[in-house]
Amino acid sequence: MTAGPWKLESQRSYFGRALVDLGRRNPNVVVVGADTTESLKSIDFGKAFPDRFFQLGIAEPNMISVAAGLAAAGKIPFATTYSVFGSAHTYNVIRQNVAYTNLNVKIFCSHAGLTVGPDGATHQINEDIGLMRGIPRMTVLVPADGPETARAVTAAAGMKGPVYCRFSRTNVPTVTSDQDGFAIGKAHTLRDGSDVTLIGCGLMVARCLEAAQTLERERISARVINLSTVKPLDLATIDRAARETGRIVTAEEHTVVHGIGAAVAAAIAVNHPVPIAMVGVQDVFGESGEAEELLRKYGLTVEKIVDAVHDLVKRGDRRT
């Protein structure tokens, strides 16, 4: 991974520490895992609170339903595993036992997207955001970096109801700070601009910021929004961006079929249609490779974001 001007840090390390901190503050917090707890760093919680930690083996459907049962009895369970298992493999269990029941289960998954790397397409899920945002009652979070992952843990525990949160295996640039605050349902404008709005999530937020710097040299003023809550979508912020900048480019480490691009496009099509371009995975499976190589091959780069902006600029001005 390239760092740009930022420090590269592990979201999983922030996640593990945030869980332990939360566990100290709230005795109702419990953690369930599925033979991936060292990788997720949720094992740190298990070491600190062995009575509140349940290793359930390679049996993710059971893990999700056990978490639901714990929640039904008043606990705040964090179910932790890799994104492909914590979404697609367990989809109908989440749907019936967590969302339909509206239980207080927090599903926190790492290893989202292509940057899982050499493990290949079986582990690189680019469909989880779409799967989860399609389920009624589900809140979907995609933190941009380590510090925001920690804030997502606290915010998820502080709200009632099911949450799905996905983050990366690879170290990502730290672009947010604790001064930014974090509220579920609020998109964070990291940089103001008037000619185009770049809306990113996860590790693509850093690439949006880099693209904005490149565009600035060309005298194109780009606003950058960190869409760390995918659902509920911050319609006010997106609508304002459409009206004020007249062009939108989304960027996500996820398929464009039903990810944040599709969510934003649907929202602006209804409220204030403006030209939109989507940078993301194009309805294909990934493959083995290093994280940065994969992002380049599948078009998840600063250059692709800049190119998309150029294309939109050629189509004219739709600002109101």
Partner 1 sequence: MVEVTEELIAALKRKAVTLRKHIVRMTHNVQSGHPGGSMSACDIVTALYFHILRVDPKNPTWPDRDRFVLSKGHACPVWYAALAERGFFPVEELMTFRKLNSRLQGHPELGTTPGVENAAGAEGQGLSFSVGLALASRMDHKAWRTYCVLGDGEQDVGQTWEAAMAASKYGLDNLTAFIDRNGIQQEGRTEDIMPLEPLRNKWEAFNWHVLNIDGHDFRQILAAIEEAHRTRGRPTVIIARTVKGKGVSFMENKIKYHGAATSDDELKLALAELEEMEASM
Binding site for partner 1 (CB under 8 A): 30, 51-52, 54, 56-57, 59, 61-62, 64-75, 77, 92-93, 96-97, 100-103
- Give the CA radius of gyration of the chain: 19
- Beta strand pairing call for 8-9 and 172-173: antiparallel
Shortest distance in whole angstroms from residue 96 CB to partner 1:
5
Q: Which of 60, 127, 210, 253 is catalytic?
A: 60
Q: Which is nearer to partner 1, 32 or 40 (CB)?
A: 32
Q: Which is nearer to partner 1, 71 or 230 (CB)?
A: 71
Q: Which is nearer to partner 1, 54 or 167 (CB)?
A: 54
312 exposure class (CB count in 10 Å sphere: 0-12, 13-18, 19+): buried
Q: Which is nearer to partner 1, 42 or 126 (CB)?
A: 42
Alpha-carbon distance 313 to 70, whole Å? 52
Q: 117-121 — which CB contacts under 8 Å span 24+ positions?
A: 117/169, 117/170, 117/288, 117/289, 117/290, 117/291, 117/294, 118/288, 118/289, 118/290, 119/288, 120/286, 120/287, 120/288, 121/285, 121/286, 121/287
60 annotated active-site: yes
Shortest distance in whole angstroms from residue 77 CB to partner 1:
8
Give Cα 44 distance to the centre of its chain: 22
Catalytic positions: 60
